[in-house]
Structure 1
Amino acid sequence: MNRFYVTTPIYYVNDIPHVGTAYTTIVVDALRRFHLLLGDESRMLTGTDEHGLKLERQSQEEGKTPQAFVDEMAERFRQAWPVLDIETDDFIRTTEARHKQFVQDLWRRIEERGDLYEGEYEDWYCVGCESYKTEKELLPGNLCPIHNKPVERLKEKTFFFRLSRWEKPLLEFYERNPSFVEPATRRNEVISFVSSGLRDLSVSRTSFTWGIPVPGRPEHVMYVWFDALTNYLTALGREGDPLRRHWPPNGRAVHVVGKDILRFHAIYWPAFLLAAGFSEKELPSQVFAHGFLTVDGQKMSKSLRNAVDPLRLARELGADTLRYYLLRAIAFGQDGDFSHTALVERYNADLGKNLGNLLSRTLGLCVKFSDGKTPPIGELGPLERELAATAEQCFANARSAWDELAPHRALEATWALSSAANTYVDRAAPWASAKAGDTARTHTILGTLLEVLRQLSVMIWPAMPRKSDGLRAQLGLAPLAPHAGDAIWPKALAPRPAGEALALGAPLFPTIDKDAEQALLEKLAPHVRQAEAAAAAPAPQPSPEGGAGKSAEPEAASAPINYDTFLGVDLRVGYVKTCEKVPRKDKLLRLSVDLGEPGPRTIIAGLALSFKPEDLVGRKVIVVSNLEPRDFGKGLVSQGMLLATGPSEALHLATVEGDPPPGSRLK
C-alpha cells in the first residue's frame, strides 16, 4: 500500500489565519483527500510555531506571559481549519512536551557527530524572519527584503552548525533527486544559493529566553528554525513508532511551503537530518514552494484595509466556493491574485452555469422521462463512445495533475469533462428522441449523463467535499467515505443499475445575479467597489493638440513585472474550429477554439468590426488560456482571450509561424 504524508508549514502565531495561510492549508487538505481516493494511506499535518524573539516581545507588549499568548493564538488556528472543511490528522505545537524532547534528541545526535560547536556571532538580524541577514541580502537602508523593515545589529554567544560541510553533499543530492525541490525555478534558486557557498549557521540564542533550551547549556535556547523544522518528524514519533511508516523510505513525505521559507526547508532541514545520521533515502521526498498572493491586485496591507478573512468568506459563500476558487484560479507554484470579483465570476461560470446546470438539466430530464429513477442503458452510439473517451482522458489528466501537485490543472481537466457533458446533452437531444417515441435512446442518453455526474462527484471531492456530498445526494448516492486500500478514483464510465431513486433538489450552485454580486462585494470588499467607481469615472478629454491630423502617441510602457508573474501567463496556440456573430452584439464573435484539450473552448472576442466569422475559421491564434472566465451575460461565458493589436475596426491577430499543434505553449 502506498503512503502519502503531506504537511503545511507550521504557522507563526504572531497573527491570525488569513487567506494566505488558508490557501496553503486548503491545498494540503485537497492533496490528502485525493490520495485517499487512490486508496493510499494518507496523513496530513499542520500546526503552530510558537517560539522566538518576536513572540517574546509581542507577549510582553500585550502584558502576557509568552505561554499564555501562544496558547491563545494557537487556538485560533486550530479552530479555523474545520470551518474551511480541512480535516488534519494531527495539529502540532512547538511548545508541546513531545516536540521539546524530540528536538533535544536531534540536537544531541548532531552534536555527537561533531557538527555543532560554540562561538560568537555578530550580524544583522531580522526579528520578523527570525534569522540573520548578510549585507548583500539587505535592501538600501538596512531593510529586510521580505518584511521591508529595518534589521537589528546583534552580537551574542551561540552554537554553530557546520552547514559549510554539507555544501557538496547537498548539491550532489539535488542532482540525484531533481524533484526534491519544485517547481523548477525554485530548485534553480536553491542550487544557485548553495553553489555560491554555505557559511556555518548560528543555531542557538542567548539574547532571549523564549525557546527550547540546548541540552546541557540552558543559557542557550535553540534557533527557532532548528526547533520548527523538526515538527515534521516529531509528529510521527521516534523510530519504531507505527506512524514513522509514513516517512521515507517507507512513505512519500511532501512539505508544501511558501517561497519565502524555501531555503530553510530545502537547505537547512536536509542538512540537519544528514548531520544527525539520516541517510539520503530518509530525507523528505519533496519540498514544493508556492508563490505569494495579492488581493485585488494589491499587496495585503492593514493600511489598505484589504486583508481577506477566509472564515468570513466561508460563512458568506460556503467553504467549498472559497476552496474551489483558490485551487482553480491560482497556478500552484506561481504568484497569484485573490480577486473578489473574479471569485464571483468563476463561481457563476464554472459552478453555477457549468456543473450546476448539468446536474439540474439531467435530473429534470430524468424526472420527465424516467420517473425520477436511473434508466436502463441500451446500445451506445457514436456520441456516447466519444463522451466515454473524453471522460477517460479527463480522469487520467486530472489524476496526473493532482499527483504532480497541480490542483489548478486537475480542476481544469475535471471541468473539461463537465463541459463535454453539457455539449453532449445538446448534441444528443434526449427531448427529441422522447418526442419521437424512442424511449430506449432517451434512457441511454440520460443514463450516460448520470454516470458522468457520479464520476464528477468523486473528482470534485478533494476540492469541494460538501458539494460532492450534495451532488451525490441528488443522485441518490451516499457521501464518499474513502479509506486506505480502496481505490475509487474513476478510470472509465460504468453505468448504474436501472431503477435506483434520484432526488432532485434545490440548485447545487444558485447563480449570483448582478444585484446580489454588488451587495456581496460591498459587504466583503468595499475597497474594490471604490476602485471600480474611480475607474468608471469619465476620462480627461484630449487637448486640441491631440486632434485629427496628428500622429497618435505610442502607449506608455507598462510597469515592470517579475519573471514569476510572466510565467503565470499561459499562452497557447489555438486553432479556430467555428466562428459566429453574437446576436445583438455588434462587436462580439463567438469562437470555438481547439487548444489540444478534450473539447474546444468557447471564446467571446470583440473582433466583429475587423473580421467576418468565415475569415477566422481555420486560423491559428494565440490564446491566454489561464485567464479567469468572463461572463458577458445571457449565457455568454468566455474561457480565454485572443491576443491582438490595433483599434477595434482594424485589428491584427497575433499568430505563429509554421505548424505547431493546438495547445503548444509559447515560451
Structure 2
Amino acid sequence: MTAGKPAYYVTTPIYYVNDVPHIGHAYTTLACDVLARFKRLDGYRVHFLTGTDEHGQKVEQSAEKAGIDPQSFTDRVSQNFRDLSKLMNFSNDDFIRTTEERHKRSCQELWRKLVEAGDIYLGSYAGWYAVRDEAYYAESELEDGPDGRKIAPSGAECEWVEEESYFFRLSAWGDRLLKLYEEQPDFVLPAGRRNEVMSFVKGGLKDLSISRTTFGWGVPVPDAPGHIMYVWIDALTNYITAVGYPDTDAENFKTFWPADVHMVGKDILRFHAVYWPAFLMAAGVPTPKRVFAHGWWTNEGEKISKTVGNVIAPADLVERYGLDQVRYFLLREVPFGNDGDFSNKAIIGRMNYDLANQFGNLAQRVLSMIAKNCDAKVPQPQAFEPEDEDLLRATALLLQDVRADMDRQQFHQALTKIWKVVSAANSYIDHAAPWTLKKTDPARMATVLYVLAESIRQLAIITQPVMPDAMATMLDQLSIDPSERDFACLERQLKPGAPLPKPEPIFPRFVEEEA
C-alpha cells in the first residue's frame, strides 16, 4: 500500500453477458466511477472493479444457438461491457470475468471453506424453474399460460425441475445477519432498502440450493463430479477474487478487503445483503462495509423493456447529447437510490439551464472579460471586500459538504450543493458588475474577476469526478497544470499574472433539430 494513503474499494455488480449494455448498466458503473475518481482526487488509493458474469444455462444455450462453444461466445459478448467502459469514460482498475482461472480457484476455495464449516450439505431440489431468469419460483407466484405452461411474474416460461443439489445452510444465519444490520446500520443503504432486507430475514430464511447438475457451463464443485456451482456462489465471489482471494495474506487483499461499497440495482439487493454476508461469515472472511441499492429508470414514464422496444442505449445518448452532459444528468436528475424517469425534455433542460446558462456562461463571461481587460492574464487582486470573502468562503467550504454526500452516495445532493455555489457566483458577478467597474474602478474590477476565476477553479476541481473531460477543459482555460488538480490543491490560489489561453465555450446550448 502506498505509504500514508488510505484505501478505497468500490465494485459494480458483474453484468450478465446475455444482456446488451443499457442505461441501467451505465448508471450503476457511472456511480462507482464518480466515487472512484472522487476518492483518488481526495488522496485515496482506489480499486474500482467491474466485470461480467459468464456462466449458466442461458449462456450455454445461447452459445449452442450461435453455433460456437460457450467460451468463444462469452469472449465475444463480454467485450460489449468493456466497450461501455470506454464509451462512458469509466476509470475501472480491473475488469473481472467469471471464466478466468483466478476466479475458478477463488470460488472453489470458498466452497471448501463452507464445507469445512459444516454449512454445505447434499440434498435434492424440486421446483418451478425459468431458464431465462435463471430463477426458481413458488407455485403461488406463477400464472397459467395459454398452452397450459407455467409463466413466471417476469413473463418467462417455467419448467418443473428435480435434481440432486448441494445446499447452503442459510436458515442458520438469520440471527447473525440481523446482528450485522444492527451493529452496522449503514450496511444497507438507502434506509428504506435496509428495512426491506431486515423484514425479509426476520420472516425466516430457507436453505439455499447452490449447485446444478442439469447443465455443465460453470465452475466445477470440488470433489463432486457432475455438479457445477450455481450463480450465488459463482457470481458473488468475484468481489474477493479481484483482490487476491484465497491468498488472504496478499498485499491487495489486506489493503482493499473488506470492500467499502458494493453498488447494485435494487433487484439484486437480497443476494448481496443476505446471501453474500452469510457466505463470508461462514467462511471466516470479513463482510463488506456497505451494499448500496439504487433505483431503476423508466423512459418517458414507461417501464423499459425489450418487448416495448424502448431500451435506452448509452451510445445513442452520448452521441446525441455529449458524454459529460449525460453523466451529469444521470446523477443530478434523481435522488440516488430512488427510481427515475429519463425524458428528452429533462436532459435538455439540465443541459441548457444548469450547464450552458449557469456554469458554462459563468466561465465564459469571466474568462472573456479577463482576456479583454486584464491582458489575458490572471488579474492582480486588491484587498478583498466582505462580498468577495463570502464567495471565497462558500467555495472553500464546498469540499467538506460534497465529501459528506459522496460518502453516503448522495450524488444528487453533492451536485445540488456545487450548483448552489455556481448560482452564488452568478449573483456575485451580476451584483459586482465588473463591466461597469472597468470604467469607474479598474482595480476593483480586477479583484472581482480574480475572485470569480478562483471560484471557477475550485468548482471545476470538485466537479471533475462527474464531468472529467469538460472540467479538464475548464481547468486548461485557467492554465492549471494537470499535476495541480487534486483536492489538496484547493488550498492554493490562482497566481496573479499567469497567462491564460483564449477562452472557448464548454457547454453549448442544445437546440432540438426540427423534424
TM-score by length of 2: 0.94
Residues in 2 aligned to 1:303 and 1:106: alpha-carbon distance in whole angstroms: 39
- Answer yes or no: is 1:244 the counterpart of 2:247: no
Deviation at 1:389, TM superposition (A): 3.1
381 and 263 in structure 1: CA distance in 2 versus 1, 3 angstrom threshold: same
Q: Distance in 2 between matches of 1:137 and 1:480?
A: 57
Q: Which of the numbers 493, 496, 499 marks the counterpart of 1:501?
A: 499
CA distance in structure 1 between the aligned counterparts of 2:86 and 2:484, rounded to whole angstroms: 17
Question: For 1:16, what is the secondary structure of its paired residue?
Answer: coil
Secondary structure at the residue paired with 1:509? Answer: coil
Superposition pairs of residues 11-30 of structure 1, within 5 angstroms: 11-30=15-34
Cα deviation code 1:402-449 (max 9, x no counterpart): 11101111111111111110110001111222211x222111100000
Aligned-partner SS, 1:217 = coil
| Conserved? CA contact 1:13–1:50, under 8 Å | yes
| Alignment partner, residue 62 of structure 2 | 58
Letter in structure 1 aligned against 2:409:
L
- Is structure 2 residue 414 aligned with structure 1 residue 410? yes
Is residue 391–residue 455 contact of structure 2 (8 Å, CA) maintained in 1? Answer: no
Which residue in 1 is equivalent to 2:459? 456
Kindly provide the amino acid, as one letter, of the partner of residue 455 in structure 2.
V
- Structure 1 residue 489, shift from structure 2 partner: 7.2
2:239 is matched with which residue: 220, 232, 239?
232
Residue 86 of structure 1, aligned match among 80, 90, 94? 90
- Deviation for aligned residue 1:454: 0.5
Q: Distance in 1 between matches of 2:487 and 2:431?
A: 33
CA distance in 2, matches of 1:403, 1:126: 38
Asked if residue 472 in structure 1 is aligned to residue 475 in structure 2, the reply is: yes
Report if aligned partners of 2:395, 2:459 keep a CA contact under 8 Å in 1: no
Structure-1 residue corresponding to 2:161: 154
Amino acid at match of 1:37: L
Residue 186 (1) aligns with residue 182 (2): no
How many Å apart are 1:140 and its aligned residue?
Answer: 7.4
Q: Distance in 1 between matches of 2:115 and 2:405?
A: 42
Amino acid corresponding to residue 240 of structure 1 in structure 2: D
Contact 2:395 2:458 in 1 (8 A): no
Cα distance in 2 between the residues matched to 1:137 and 1:441: 72
How far apart are residue 136 of structure 1 and its match? 4.7
Q: Which amino acid aligns with 2:442?
A: T
Q: How many Å separate the matches in 2 of 1:489 and 1:254?
A: 27
**Separation in 2, partners of 1:458, 1:143:** 52
- Shift, 1:476, TM fit: 1.4
Decide whether the 8 Å contact of 2:248 with 2:254 is kept in 1.
Answer: no
Matched with 1:579 is: none
Contact 1:378 1:444 in 2 (8 A): yes
Partner of 1:355: 359
The unaligned stretches of length 5 or more in structure 1 are 523-667
Q: Which amino acid aligns with 2:496?
A: A
Tell me, in whole angstroms, the C-alpha distance in 2 between the residues paired with 1:159 and 1:347.
53
Larger relative contact order (CA 8 Å, sep ≥ 6): 2
Unaligned runs of 5+ in 2: none
Contact 1:468 1:479 in 2 (8 A): no
Separation in structure 2 between the aligned mates of residue 504 and residue 359 of structure 1, nearest angstrom? 12
Aligned residue number for residue 133 of structure 1? 137
**1:332 counterpart SS class:** coil
Give the superposition deviation at 1:397.
Answer: 2.2
Q: Say what the alpha-carbon RMSD is for the aligned residues.
A: 1.8
What SS does the corresponding residue of 1:360 show, helix, strand or coil? helix
Whether contact under 8 Å (1:332, 1:406) holds in the other structure is: yes
Task: Show the 5 A alignment for 1:24-43.
Answer: 24-43=28-47
The one-letter amino acid paired with 1:318 is G
The percent of aligned pairs where both chains have the same amino acid is 46
The match for 1:222 is: 229
Counterpart-to-counterpart distance in 2, 1:137 and 1:268: 21
TM-score (norm: length of structure 1): 0.73
Does 1:144 find its partner at 2:152? Answer: yes
CA contact (8 A) 1:38 1:489 kept: no
Residues 293 and 336 of structure 1 are in contact (CA less than 8 Å); yes or no, is this contact kept in structure 2? yes
Question: Aligned partners of 1:263, 1:139: CA distance in 2, in Å?
Answer: 24
Aligned length: 505
The 5-angstrom pairing of residues 296-335 of structure 1 reads 296-335=300-339
1:601-645 superposed Cα distances (whole Å, 9 cap, x missing partner): xxxxxxxxxxxxxxxxxxxxxxxxxxxxxxxxxxxxxxxxxxxxx
Whose helix proportion is higher, 1 or 2? 2
Mapped contact 1:448–1:495 kept (Cα < 8 A): no
Residue 513 of structure 2: which of 502, 508, 518 is its match? 518
CA distance in 1, matches of 2:151, 2:401: 45
Partner of 1:440: 443
Q: 2-side partners of 1:208 and 1:326: how far apart?
A: 39
